[in-house]
Structure 1
């Protein structure tokens, strides 16, 4: 948790425009969603037989 706070404190002051902050926040949330999806599919057989 402290590492995330440290990274955000390091990254956010560099973003001078509000749109840049929103882009960084969107990328952070997207990475979190990707990791969540990967964790949900861990161990599942995602071969062609599933579909």
Structure 2
């Protein structure tokens, strides 16, 4: 699946996209999303406590 995704991106952007580069990009994007979700959960709890 990763190879197919890399091939599709390569065709769309007309650049050579390596599967390893795509894996690193997916890992960092996932880590950033996880960090954002954790921060939103913490901030959401703090905002709820401040309002009530």
> How many equivalent residue pairs?
33
Which has more helix, going by share of residues?
2
TM-score by length of 2: 0.50
Q: How does 1:8-47 map to 2 (within 5 A)?
A: 12-13=9-10, 16-42=17-43, 43-44=45-46
**Alpha-carbon offset, residue 17 of structure 1:** 1.2
Gaps of 5+ in 1: 1-11, 45-51
TM-score by length of 1: 0.51
For the residue of structure 1 that corresponds to 2:39, the secondary structure is helix
Moved more, 32-41 or 15-24: 15-24
- By relative contact order (CA 8 Å, sep 6+), the higher-ranking structure is 2
RMSD after superposition: 1.9
